[in-house]
């Protein structure tokens, strides 16, 4: 669960030399003034003990002392006692106008900082109904949004963020972060797209925003947009991961630009020595019909892992490099491909017009696995030999 730091709380004058001083009885006013002086002289413990020892007879005096005790307890780090005293002061209903508002705000903020979100929310909503001109309504709605966020009340988060933005006249990072979190939880994918675009505008080097935007665009079936997003991130120098860059290559291939996909794979770390990356790159070059480049990269992959020898041999055969294909076919060790290898040799020798060797391999293929293809080759090659003779 995320924790939020209390900022600028209780930053209000605590001196009784205010417009409310006249509302206190003289004896309590003197004690409160003394406690205030002790607090200002960093004698917080003495100030608390002085106030605790008071037993006001007037209800307003009692509420005011509890309010002050709540502030002092918070300053001393005793949140529970601060909450108790501030709650009593607020619930008395005797504090006046802005004094009452500020006290409730203190209580709500301390409850929030204590992760008592359900208790804090009613106070924040009460405060939101009447915000003094010298108070920050946008910050108030930020606290409301934060509380709902912690309670995973996602629709309420969105409502609170919208209220906050109206006071701000713009959307800032705090609002956008919470809005995005709520939208993702509610699976509001389309709504999350402009939110992420706004976050990218504010933090263009934050890779997570680019990654999330691409992921959502793919989820929405917008592969074209996803490619543009990832390509733009790369151009702008965002620190994309190797996985991101590999995804970019896939997007290029899906878009029908396999040569860009191959080039992107070639830029990955270890692309020149990793047999898997070499094989992927070779496939993309093949898709791009860049046969010479594909052969070159398949050869590099096969030299590092023999399982790619078959693909190399097939491409050599396709491109008419029959003797080179035969050399590579000799090196294929996968027994599951034994019959296919023999049939590939048949084709190579046939193209080289060596029908004797071709029929030998056709019979070998038929012995391994008799198929219509192997039988057809045997019949055809026997006819060719008879014609030659």
Q: Is the pLDDT of residue 351 over 90?
A: yes
Q: Is the pLDDT of residue 2 over 60?
A: no
CA–CA gap between residue 364 and residue 357 (Å, rounded): 11
Q: Which of 28-32, 195-199, 311-315 has the lowest mean pLDDT?
A: 28-32
What is the band of 20 on the pLDDT scale with cuts at 50, 70, 90? low
One-character DSSP codes across 81-95: HHHHHHHHHHHH--S
pLDDT, tens digit (0-9, with 9 covering 90-100), for 238-260: 999 999 999 999 999 999 999 99
pLDDT, tens digit (0-9, with 9 covering 90-100), for 275-328: 999 999 999 999 999 999 999 999 999 999 999 999 999 999 999 999 999 999
The interaxial angle of helices 154-168 and 173-185, nearest 10 deg, is 160
Average pLDDT, integer, range 110-130: 95
What is the band of 4 on the pLDDT scale with cuts at 50, 70, 90? very low
Whether 309 and 332 have beta carbons less than 8 Å apart is answered as: yes
Please, how many CA atoms are within 13 Å of residue 91, restricted to the half-sphere of its CB?
7
What pLDDT does 21 receive?
A: 52
Q: Provide, rounded to the nearest whole percent, the portion of the chain with pLDDT above 90.
A: 81
- Element spanning 368, H or E: helix 355-368
Q: Is the pLDDT of residue 12 over 90?
A: no
What pLDDT does 56 receive?
A: 87
pLDDT, tens digit (0-9, with 9 covering 90-100), for 68-86: 999 999 999 999 999 999 9
Structure tokens that stand for 299 in this block? 């050869």
What is the band of 273 on the pLDDT scale with cuts at 50, 70, 90? very high
User: Which residue segments constitute the domains of the chain, with CATH numbers given?
Assistant: 12-133 (1.25.40.10)
Q: Is the pLDDT of residue 389 over 70?
A: no
CA–CA gap between residue 311 and residue 279 (Å, rounded): 9
CA–CA gap between residue 168 and residue 9 (Å, rounded): 20
pLDDT, tens digit (0-9, with 9 covering 90-100), for 162-191: 999 999 887 889 999 999 999 999 999 999
Structure tokens that stand for 74 in this block? 């918070």
Whether 339 and 368 have beta carbons less than 8 Å apart is answered as: yes
Q: Tell me the residue length of the chain.
A: 389
- Average pLDDT, rounded, for the chain: 91
Residue with tokens 């001393």: 76
What is the band of 55 on the pLDDT scale with cuts at 50, 70, 90? confident
Q: Which of 309, 248, 260 lies closest to 284, judged by CA?
A: 260
Structure tokens that stand for 78 in this block? 């005793």
The per-residue b/e assignment along 335-368, b for 16 or more CB within 10 angstroms, e otherwise, is: eebbbbbbbbbbbbbbeeeebebbbbbbbbbbeb
Instruction: Please report, for residues 153, 156, 157, the alpha-carbon distance to residue 186 in angstroms, rounded to integers and kept in the order given.
Output: 10, 12, 11
């Amino acid at each position: 669960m995320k924790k939020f730091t209390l900022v600028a709380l209780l930053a209000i004058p605590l001196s009784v030399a205010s417009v409310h001083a006249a509302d206190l009885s003289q004896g309590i006013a003197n004690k409160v003034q003394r406690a205030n002086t002790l607090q200002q002289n960093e004698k917080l413990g003495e100030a608390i003990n002085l106030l605790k020892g008071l037993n006001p007879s007037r209800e307003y005096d009692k509420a005011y002392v509890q309010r002050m005790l709540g502030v002092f307890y918070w300053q001393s780090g005793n949140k529970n006692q601060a909450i108790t005293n501030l709650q009593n002061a607020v619930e008395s209903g005797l504090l006046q106008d802005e004094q009452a508002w500020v006290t409730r705000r203190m209580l709500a903020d301390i409850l929030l900082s204590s992760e008592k979100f359900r208790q804090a929310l009613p106070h924040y909503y009460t405060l939101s109904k009447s915000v003094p001109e010298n108070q920050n309504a946008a910050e108030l709605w930020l606290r409301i949004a934060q509380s709902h966020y912690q309670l995973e009340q996602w629709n309420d988060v969105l409502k609170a963020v919208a209220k906050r933005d109206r006071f701000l006249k713009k959307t800032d990072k705090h609002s956008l972060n919470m809005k995005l979190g709520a939208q993702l939880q509610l699976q509001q994918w389309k709504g999350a797209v402009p939110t992420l675009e706004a976050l990218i505008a504010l933090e263009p080097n934050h890779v997570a925003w680019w990654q999330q935007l691409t992921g959502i665009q793919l989820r929405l079936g917008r592969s074209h947009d996803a490619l543009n997003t990832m390509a733009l991130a790369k151009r702008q120098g965002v620190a994309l991961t190797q996985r991101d860059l590999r995804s970019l290559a896939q997007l290029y291939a899906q878009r029908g630009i396999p040569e860009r996909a191959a080039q992107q794979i070639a830029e990955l770390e270890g692309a020149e020595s990793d047999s898997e990356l070499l094989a992927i790159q070779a496939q993309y070059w093949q898709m791009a019909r860049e046969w010479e480049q594909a052969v070159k990269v398949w050869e590099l992959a096969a030299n590092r892992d023999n399982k790619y020898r078959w693909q190399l041999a097939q491409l050599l055969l396709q491109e008419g490099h029959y003797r080179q294909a035969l050399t590579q076919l000799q090196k294929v060790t996968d027994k599951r491909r034994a019959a296919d290898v023999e049939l590939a040799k048949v084709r190579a020798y046939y193209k080289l017009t060596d029908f004797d060797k071709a029929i030998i391999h056709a019979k070998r293929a038929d012995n391994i696995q008799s198929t219509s293809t192997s039988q057809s080759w045997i019949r055809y090659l026997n006819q060719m030999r008879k014609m030659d003779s």
